[in-house]
Structure 1
């Protein structure tokens, strides 16, 4: 069996040292459209190395950009996991940033498989990770959920079912973020060179009409929409972002982020419910089961 659940869950965590540079951060921000309207707002806090701030979602590509060289770490190199990459689908992502990320730095990234759920026709692999600085203090923690077609039916538990809940009222904020035809070509330079995001022939071979935008690009675009539309342009106020990837976005389409504020939450923070859709396709879902935590 390509997934050995017992081996995966009992294996020692894997660790590697990652580094990133200011140029990696600048590229990431540009790949999300920062500075696209320089006549109105060049967004120098995100596009210029002097006083550079870092979007928290950069954690998703830290250590994978140009500074990583030509042989980046293989994310699927984990004990007990032997999967054909073509069977894998990034199903969901959680991220919690414990303090503002530096524009350049080094961290130790530790990962482990925390669960493997049996979904019948597929397996859902849950990969937990933590990045720490040289003193061992946490920079960020994350959870990646990977849907693996054809690997279910092994008799395991199905795991919890999350039901998306949205208030029965209009959203408190709606932000439309256009993408460009070359958005995926630029975003892939952050480290994910999957031909699905560049090669029309390959995209058609796996069931898409054309190349699609990376799921983590949509994730980053929603994070930036929250910073721009709700947090006065201050990325340090976005502490947590959790989503389920529900549909692909084609470069050139718009991602519409709807936001509802919730009552309660930890002192000094606000919890948000989110939904991201594509208005050009009758608000087809892009990200669902989405929440965020922001500082007041």
Structure 2
């Protein structure tokens, strides 16, 4: 079925207020691999409450409006949804603990055709509830595979570019824990696809897959480690496309190409399988 453009484009989201503690900030950091070397003084500030820093991609799990596309009133074939892209801009460091307000809106509804589905882009702005400071802007693109053909639609956002067809300037490999998905799901996403082997097999996977946003966070970890000296305030944006599943326990290799004015292109690969799992990546770095 085709979705209702006007209904989806004007979907009303309630503000989401979410309090978080230093333990939440530490759990998020641990779940994307920080603290793997507990003696590394560069990683310790993300996992130790003394002088605690929040890793910026924690924005992914804060102020989320929930699985609204599952609402029958939306008329979306939610069982066929795929997370297509994730884009984030970081405006101000998150306090180690506090309360945020998430304000969401649909910015784009794009018709790919009756046989190709539709894209829905939701923007979420995260504000510090204490002073209304804008902390981060999160844009999530969802591929609605069974809902195209409605005719009316928006022009898509600027496409993320392919990485250069030359060897990368830098490569960072980070191992992930076999229990990485069990940790990450405690942040926000309890989907059984990431924990229950039987559910994973029903979905066509040999084992539970890692959350796409956890893979995204591990890639951000690699970039902040390699290009920012573990200074999270130097990462200004991180955009990428989800290309293939990644399995807990695999090693993520992040290939990086340095450009002008702090612009970095990247992709992320499963070392064990040689498959690109994050493609068309762009990061902004304060040099």
Aligned ranges for residues 1-296 of structure 1 at < 5 Å?
3-39=3-39, 43-63=43-63, 74-76=66-68, 81-120=74-113, 121-134=116-129, 135-157=131-153, 159-160=155-156, 162=159, 164-263=161-260, 265=261, 270-282=262-274, 284-296=275-287
How many Å separate the matches in 1 of 2:154 and 2:63? 33
Provide the rounded CA distance (Å) in 2 between the counterparts of 1:127 and 1:22: 28
Return the TM-score normalized by structure 2: 0.91
| Count, aligned residues | 282
Q: Distance in 2 between matches of 1:79 and 1:13?
A: 15
| Partner SS, residue 186 of structure 2 | helix
In structure 1, how many angstroms separate the alpha carbons of the residues matched to 2:39 and 2:124? Answer: 40
Compute the RMSD of aligned alpha carbons.
2.2
Aligned to 2:58, what secondary structure does the other structure show? helix
Tell me by how many angstroms 1:158 deviates.
7.7
CA contact (8 A) 2:163 2:280 kept: no
TM-score by length of 1: 0.88
Relative to structure 1, is the Cα distance of residues 207 and 100 closer, same or farther in structure 2, using a 3 angstrom cutoff? same
2: CA distance between counterparts of 1:76 and 1:193? 15
Check whether the contact 1:14–1:112 (CA below 8 A) recurs between aligned residues.
Answer: no
Structure-2 separation of matches of 1:220 and 1:11: 28
Deviations 1:207-251 (A, max 9, x none): 111110000001000111111111111111111000110110011
Q: Which runs of 4+ in 1 moved over 6 A?
A: 77-80
Q: Is the 1:2–1:81 contact (alpha carbons within 8 Å) kept by the matching residues of 2?
A: no
Contact (CA 8 Å) 1:130, 1:140: kept in 2 or not? yes
SS state at 2:74 partner: coil
For structure 2, which runs of at least 5 residues remain unmatched after alignment?
none
Superposition deviation, residue 48 in structure 1: 0.4
CA distance in 2, matches of 1:157, 1:238: 33
CA 1:40–1:22 in structure 2 vs 1: closer, same or farther (change >3 Å)? closer
How far, CA to CA, are the matches of 2:84 and 2:21 in structure 1? Answer: 28
Gapped regions of structure 1 (runs ≥ 5): 65-72
User: Is the 8 Å Cα contact of residues 36 and 42 (structure 1) preserved in structure 2?
Assistant: no
